[in-house]
């Protein structure tokens, strides 16, 4: 449902009393009709009557929302027939309604409908509570009903109340395993997140070890190349070759040594990466 | 004319769902596919009037399509964002529904045998109850469907709007107001009205009941 569909749902509001002090913001969101007088709530101010609708925006952000205690005095001033339209700024699956429900019941209001709202990102209201001050039970309403409130309609009879309490008890029973499963799923997700973080750390540590080993290897290769290119190594090598093949060595060792002597001081050819 | 037994009727439906085209198999077999398409659309809009024109993805409506056949109504209503369970006794129909997917969850069961921990906002059964030929099974099915409707929710039943029963062929027994109203009143359901399909010469229409107790 759209936020501006809410006031028509409450029925004909002769006066709208805003508790949240939003300036014009809430009035504009609700598109309060010009015909209805819109005023800010003043404790024990102008008397409310059956044509009054108390509106407020409750939620988790103190800078934008009020809380249940703040709206309570206005609710208590509503006479029988007076109504409340309360926008709630919590996501529906996380709705902490217990406090508000306390205040509504204390003020003698019946919760008639809780309406999930569209376009939450635009206004931040996830749902709206429609409630009325009653001296007997008002007709029950269905989820997503968009018929205007009718407080004068037939009150639910004993059979409806038996049904209501029965549905509540069974619903409550069934919601318990769901709630447990949900919590267990949350735990599993948390566990998996932790495991993922631990694995990421492990991978980072291994990457660091590999990087260190690679730089050690590169250094060793450079050292080896430098060693191979050094005059001492090459003289030693020529002598070793001569010692291995004494017949050829008589000629080749002196020739090799002369070549090395001549080239001394010029850097040796570096081995390639695969050498 | 002797009526089919339960077993013969369920065999009949399973074979019809295997052999017939999509809409003729669960629709009116005397019409061609295109006419059935009109017939389905007419009844879909009647269902929309009763289910309402609101939806919500966070807190959707829960619907039961009882005797869903090949699932036309289930799929169309699921497209509106509602959560739909479709049940039918025919294995072939349910297999077809599952293959097409589209959101609803399907279960093969009789109307009288469907058990679930969840109640529904709306239970509808379009042109199914008059195919249940045995009176006792019809009553068990009707009572079971009513019991699945939550307080304030609706039960929508396709059947004829007159008093008394009438047998068509060997596989249809239409039952009227004098059957549905007292039975469902005793189940805590208020009778809201009956509206004819107004489709060609069909004598059938939709009963709407609301659970008030
Ligand atoms: C005329 S078709 C209607 C199908 C669907 N409602 C539609 O309009 O497309 C009747 C359907 O009811 C099913 N059916 C008949 N008796 C049933 C029972 N006792 N339990 C479950 N399904 C049944 C049949 O299998 C068949 O799919």
Q: What is the mean pLDDT of residues A46-53?
A: 96
Give the pocket of ligand 1 (CB within 6 Å). Answer: B 13, 26, 67-69, 72, 88-90, 93, 110-111, 126-128, 131-132, 141
> What kind of architecture, by CATH, is found in domain A3-153?
3-Layer(aba) Sandwich (3.40)
pLDDT in tens, A99-149: 999 999 999 999 999 999 999 999 999 999 999 999 999 999 999 999 999
Atom number, ligand 1, closest to the C-alpha of residue B43: 8
Threshold 0.80, pTM exceeds? no
What pLDDT was estimated at residue A272?
A: 39
Q: Residue A116: which of B53, B58, B118 has the nearest Cβ?
A: B58
Q: What is the mean pLDDT of residues B188-210?
A: 97
Q: Is B186 among the domain residues? A: yes
What pLDDT was estimated at residue A73?
A: 98
Domain of B90? 6-50+60-109+118-211
pLDDT band for position A260 (cuts 50, 70, 90): low
What pLDDT was estimated at residue A270?
A: 43
- Closest-CA residue, ligand 1 atom 24, reads B13
Ligand 1 centroid to B114 CA: how many Å?
14
Ligand 1 centroid to B51 CA: how many Å?
20
pLDDT band for position A264 (cuts 50, 70, 90): low
A271 has a pLDDT exceeding 50: no
Lowest mean pLDDT among A219-223, A229-233, B1-5: A229-233
Q: Is B128 among the domain residues? A: yes
Q: Is B55 among the domain residues? A: no
Question: A interface toward B at CB cutoff 8 Å?
Answer: 1, 91-93, 116, 118, 126, 140-146, 156-160, 162-164, 167, 174
ipTM (interface pTM)? 0.71
Q: Inter-chain contact B213–A116, Cβ cutoff 8 Å? A: no
Helix axes of A231-244 and A158-229: crossing angle, nearest 10 degrees: 70
B 7-66 → A contacts, CB under 8 A: 52-56, 58-59, 61
pLDDT in tens, B18-27: 999 999 999 9
Q: Give A163's contacts in chain B (Cβ within 8 Å).
A: 151, 188, 211, 213
Mean pLDDT, rounded, of chain A: 89
Lowest mean pLDDT among A213-227, A234-248, B55-69, B182-196: A234-248
Give the torsion through C-alpha atoms of A172, A176, A177, A179, to 10 deg. Answer: 120
φ/ψ (deg, to 5) at A72: -55, -45
A216 has a pLDDT exceeding 80: yes
What pLDDT was estimated at residue A183?
A: 82
Count of the separate structural domains present in chain B: 1
Atom number, ligand 1, closest to the C-alpha of residue B126: 6
Tokens describing residue A57 = 């925006």
φ/ψ (deg, to 5) at A268: -75, 160
Q: Is B142 among the domain residues? A: yes
Q: What is the mean pLDDT of residues A218-232?
A: 88
A62 has a pLDDT exceeding 60: yes
A254 has a pLDDT exceeding 70: no
Ligand 1 centroid to B27 CA: how many Å?
10
Show the 3-state SS of B66-92: ECCCCCHHHHHHHHCCCEEEEEECCHH
Tokens describing residue A125 = 């209201």
CATH code for position B83: 3.40.50.150
Burial string for B9-31 (b: 16+ CB within 10 Å, else e) reads bbeebbebbeebebbbbbbbeeb
Atom number, ligand 1, closest to the C-alpha of residue B17: 27
Ligand 1 centroid to B57 CA: how many Å?
29
B33 has a pLDDT exceeding 50: yes
Atom number, ligand 1, closest to the C-alpha of residue B71: 9
């Amino acid at each position: 449902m759209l936020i501006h569909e809410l006031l028509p749902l409450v029925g004909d509001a002769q006066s709208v009393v805003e508790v949240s002090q939003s300036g014009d913001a809430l009035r504009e969101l609700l598109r309060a009709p010009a015909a209805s007088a819109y005023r800010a709530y003043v404790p024990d101010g102008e008397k409310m009557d059956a044509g009054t609708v108390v509106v407020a925006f409750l939620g988790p952000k103190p800078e934008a929302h009020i809380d249940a205690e703040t709206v309570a005095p206005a609710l208590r001033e509503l006479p029988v027939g007076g109504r409340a339209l309360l926008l709630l700024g919590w996501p529906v699956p996380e709705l902490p309604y217990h406090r508000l429900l306390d205040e509504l019941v204390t003020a003698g209001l019946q919760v008639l409908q809780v309406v999930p709202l569209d376009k939450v990102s635009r206004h931040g209201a996830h749902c709206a509570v429609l409630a009325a001050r009653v001296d007997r039970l008002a007709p029950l309403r269905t989820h997503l009903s968009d018929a205007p409130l009718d407080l004068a309609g037939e009150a639910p009879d004993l059979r409806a109340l038996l049904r209501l309490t029965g549905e509540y008890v069974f619903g409550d029973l069934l919601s318990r395993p769901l709630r447990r499963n949900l919590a267990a799923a949350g735990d599993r997700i948390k566990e998996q997140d932790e495991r993922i973080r631990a694995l990421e750390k492990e991978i980072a540590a291994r990457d660091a070890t590999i990087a260190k080993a690679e730089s050690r290897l590169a250094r060793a290769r450079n050292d080896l190349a430098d060693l191979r290119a050094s005059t001492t190594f090459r003289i030693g090598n020529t002598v070793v070759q001569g010692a291995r093949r004494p017949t050829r060595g008589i000629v080749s060792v002196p020739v090799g040594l002369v070549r090395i002597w001549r080239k001394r001081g010029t850097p040796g050819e570096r081995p390639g990466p695969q050498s | 004319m002797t009526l089919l037994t339960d077993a013969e009727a369920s065999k009949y439906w399973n074979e019809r769902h295997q052999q017939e085209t999509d809409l003729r198999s669960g629709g009116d077999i005397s019409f061609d596919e295109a006419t059935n398409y009109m017939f389905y659309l007419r009844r879909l809009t009647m269902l929309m009037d009763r289910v309402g024109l609101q939806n919500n993805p966070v807190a959707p409506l829960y619907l039961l399509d009882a005797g869903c056949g090949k699932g036309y109504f289930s799929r169309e209503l699921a497209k509106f964002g509602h959560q739909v369970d479709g049940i039918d006794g025919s294995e072939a129909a349910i297999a077809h529904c599952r293959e097409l997917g589209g959101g609803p969850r399907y279960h093969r069961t009789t109307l009288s045998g469907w058990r679930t921990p969840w109640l529904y906002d709306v239970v509808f059964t379009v042109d199914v109850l008059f195919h249940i030929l045995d009176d006792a099974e019809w009553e068990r099915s009707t009572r079971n469907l009513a019991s699945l409707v939550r307080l304030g929710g609706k039960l929508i039943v396709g059947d004829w709007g007159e008093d008394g029963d009438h047998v068509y062929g060997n596989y249809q027994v239409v039952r009227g107001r004098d059957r549905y109203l007292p039975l469902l009143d005793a189940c805590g359901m208020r009778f809201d009205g009956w509206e004819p399909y107004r489709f060609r010469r069909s004598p059938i229409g939709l009963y709407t009941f609301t659970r008030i107790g």
